[in-house]
A and B are shown apart, each in its own frame.
Chain A
Amino acid sequence: MNVFGAIVARDTRLALRQGGGSYWTLLFFVLTVTMFPLGVGPDLALLSRIGAGVLWVTALLAAMLSLDRMFQADFEDGSLELLSLAPLPLELTVLAKAAAHWLTTGLPVTVLAPLLALMLAVDPAAFPVLMLAMLIGTPILSLIGSIGAALTVGIRRGGVLLSLLVMPLYVPALIFGVLAVQAALDGLTPRPHLLLLGADFLVALAITPWLAAAALRLNLE
């Protein structure tokens, strides 16, 4: 477990320090959300209706765009090879890297979401549900993303391919995340949507490390 924690700490530190790109991801998130009112017009009634969807789609894009740093640099300088020889199973290494990715994208996006929701005129009563849904849902983005990142690690210009592979698999997280917020806005209980989102998270947690590790082994041969 020490090795696991060390990998999480190392990757988080690398993402936060100079050239790590964690801030850029957040800036991308804020900037893209800002583009929506400019695109659809400043009508607050319309913005409050599409606000939850805009936040979720943008969070999804932000998570996806930062996936390449999960394995790419370590693959290029050879440290991924050393990590695969470490006593920690590669499956857990993948999990640690996904956790670090979430800590530096999903978590800050979740913290920023209410602020942006406020600017999109989403009813503040739904903010706790929005944050809870993002807290459960954004780890799914990092987990499923780890499969795509592991598959495309050896491919030149794999970024677009990565989004093609990963985006369809993000659909359930997007749907349940938005439905939970919508239910809260309509005065209904968001519980079923949050439970389904949690189920999706557990499925991703159980399956993705195996597939991503298999993909990494393939690229390390």
Chain B
Amino acid sequence: MANLHWLANPGRFLRIAAVVLPWLAAATAVLLAVGLWLALRAPQDATQGAPAKIMYMHVPSAILSMTIFGAMAFASAIALIWRHPLADIAAKASAAIGAGFTASCLITGSLWGRPSWGTFWVWDARLTSELILFFIYLGYIAIWQAIEDPQRASRAAAIVALAGSVNLPIIHYSVVWWNTLHQPPGLMQGRTDPSMAVPLLTLMGAFFLFYVTLLLWRMEREIVGRKIRQFRLLRAQA
């Protein structure tokens, strides 16, 4: 709890972020370059050929799209329970990044589907639940835009995030029950050969660092933006 409050100071956050951000950005760039190099050198898929390399973008995007929603719901719960001033900023800053990764997952998935399934879009379980996840992200962003006062918007958005996080597993499994054509996830069961798993894991790390970098950057901007808004309101009143 003590740490939670120590981190709750936006000024302290801005000072730490200013130091950490360049290093994080550099680490992201290096890891992304290494991961892409490894992925391009990785062996070709035996049956699918070159298009299967889309996997190296598709899988990390898919994993992050869900991880970020989890992080967003967690931050929302903290914001709602303790009124932690940075948690709601973190949740808000995460939403657009998460929606971006979800869109990237859908787009790469459909580009991959064209050569391997013969169609851009199939109503298969995981594509459909990813699409619904995208809609939930958009709803979350919409409620932030609909309510002017940031304090109230933050709490309303937190309720949306919590409702979404309770429902997402139900939605996911109902959609799986509904229809399945997608191959089951193979990476975590150790069925992927190291020659493909290593670049994939490297890129996952790179995508994750990319998320953290973007998150800190967007949080910085949000804090400064709120300060500017406050100053403008004060000046208008004076």
Contact = CB atoms under 8 A, between A and B. Distances in A.
A60 to B, nearest CB: 14
Contact of B160 (A154, A165, A221): A165
B119 to A, nearest CB: 21
A208 B164 CA distance: 11
B139 interface: yes
Contacts of B177: 175-176, 179, 196
Interface residues of B, number: 26
A215 B170 contact: no
A211 B163 contact: yes
A2 B146 CA distance: 37
B138 interface: yes
A158 B171 CA distance: 24
B143 A211 contact: no
Contact of B143 (A165, A167, A203): A165
Interface residues of A, number: 29
25 contacts: A144-B167, A147-B163, A151-B156, A151-B159, A152-B146, A155-B147, A161-B143, A161-B146, A164-B139, A165-B160, A168-B135, A169-B136, A169-B164, A171-B171, A171-B174, A172-B167, A175-B175, A175-B177, A179-B178, A196-B174, A196-B177, A211-B163, A218-B155, A219-B152, A221-B152
Interface of B: 80, 132, 135-136, 138-139, 142-143, 146-147, 152, 155-156, 159-160, 162-164, 166-167, 170-171, 174-175, 177-178
Closest 6 CB pairs of A and B: A172-B174, A175-B174, A165-B139, A168-B135, A164-B139, A175-B178
